[in-house]
Structure 1
Amino acid sequence: MNPEYAEAWNNKGIILKELKKYKKALKCYNKALEINSELIEAWNNKGTILQELGKYEEALECYNKALEINPKSIETLTYKGITLSKIGKYKKALKCFDKALKIDPKNKLLHKTKAALHKKLKNQEKA
C-alpha cells in the first residue's frame, strides 16, 4: 500500500470498521484526511464510526466538513440527518432529509426515513 494514497487508507478503514476495530479504523480515516482533506468518503466514514461510538457532536463535525466540500452529497446529508435524529434533533434532521430529497426526489429510502421521523416528531410533541 502506498503510504501517501488517501483512498487506500480510507479503504483500510472500511475493512477495519467491518471487523469492528473502530479505533484502528479511525486512525486510517485520520491518515486519509491528513493526506487529502477533501476526501468526502473519509469524512463520512469517520463520522459513521464516531456515531457508532456515541460521539454524535464529533460525527456531525465530520459531516459538516464533508458538506463544505460538497453541499449536495446525498450520502452526507443522510448520515447527518440520521445522527441528528439519534440525539433528538428531529427538526434539523428533517431539514437534512429535505435537502437530500430536493437533489434526489425519487429516493424511496429517504422518503421512508423522513416519514418515520415525522412520526417520532409527532409523538415527541404529544409528550
Structure 2
Amino acid sequence: MPEEGAGARLIAEGDALQREGNIGGALKKYNDALELDPGSLDALYRKGLILSGTGRYEEAVLCFDSILGEEPDYPEVWFQRAVAFFTDRRYPEAAESARRAIRLDPAYTQAWYLLGRALKSEERYEDAREAYERAIVLDPENPAVCYMLGVVYDILERHEEAVAAFRRTIDLDPEDLDARKSLAYTLYTMGRYREAVEICDEALAICPEHTRILFIRGLAVRGMEGETTVPTA
C-alpha cells in the first residue's frame, strides 16, 4: 500500500509521533493524510490500529472495512478487525474475522490463537481446542498458546494433557505464575496433592505473597491430611 507526496510525509510524521508515545498527535497526522486522500489505505490502517488500541472499536472496524472494501486479501487487516471485535467482546464477529485471516494465510499463528480465544469466550471449547492445537503446531515455542491450550484441556477434563501443557508453558516461561497456579490447581483436583504443593512452593519462591497460590497450597496440604474440597481456584 505505497503512498506518495504530502500524504506519505504526514503518515511518516504520524509514525514518528507514535514511536514517541504521542498517540493523539499521530492520529491527527493520519486524519490529515486522509483529508488529502480519503482512500489512503496506509492512513486508514494506522488510524484503525490507534482507534482499536484506545477503545474506539466501532470506528476502528469502519477503518478496516474501508480497506477491505478495496483490498479484501490482506490477512493482517482481517486479523486486526478480529482484535477490535474481540476486545469489544463481540466474539462471533471476532471468530469470523480471524477465520478470514486464516483462509488467506493458513500459517497465521496469531489468528489461530485469537480464534481460539474467541471460541473459548463463546464456551465452544472443543472448537477452541482445535484452534489452539493448530496454533501450537505452527509455533511450538509460544507460551501464551501453550497455556491457553492447557486451560481448554482442563475445562474439557483432559487433565493429563492440561498438566503437560502447563508444564511446557513453564519450561518456555519460568516466570509465568498463571501457568504455575493452573498446574497446581489441576494437580490438586486430580488428587496429586504433594505435586501441587511442590508447584506452589516453586511459585511462591518467585512471588511469596501470591494469594491464589497460597490458597491452592492450603487446599493441597489439607488434601494430604485427608480433608478434600474442590472450590473454584
TM-score by length of 1: 0.87
1:35 and 2:138 are equivalent in the alignment: yes
Aligned match of 1:122: 225
Q: CA RMSD in A?
A: 1.8
Give the alignment partner of residue 80 of structure 1, picking from 173, 176, 183. Answer: 183
Structure 2 counterpart of 1:46 = 149
- In the alignment, is residue 90 of structure 1 matched against residue 165 of structure 2? no
1:22 corresponds, among 125, 129, 133, to: 125
SS in 1 for 2:226: helix
Moved more, 66-75 or 55-64: 66-75
8 Å contact 1:6–1:35 — kept in the other structure?
yes
Among 165, 168, 183, which residue is 1:62 paired with?
Answer: 165
Cα distance per residue 1:29-80 (max 9 Å; x no partner) = 0121122111111111111111111111111111122122123321111111
Question: What SS is found at the alignment partner of 1:102?
Answer: helix
Q: CA deviation at 1:8?
A: 2.7
The equivalent residue for 1:111 is 214
Q: Which has the higher contact order (CA 8 A, sep 6+)?
A: 1
Report which stretch shifted further, 75-84 or 60-69.
60-69
The answer for unaligned runs of 5 or more in structure 2 is 1-78, 80-100, 228-233
Q: Partner letter of residue 7 of structure 1? A: Q
Shift of 1:115: 1.7
Identical counterparts, % of pairs: 22
Mapped to 2, the partners of 1:112 and 1:61 lie a distance apart of 22
Contact 1:44 1:79 in 2 (8 A): no
Worse overlay, 45-54 or 5-14: 5-14
Which residues of structure 1 form unaligned runs of 5+? Answer: none
Cα deviation for residue 109 of structure 1 reads 1.7
Question: Which whole-Å CA distance do the structure 2 matches of 1:54 and 1:33 have between them?
Answer: 20
- 2:4 is matched with none
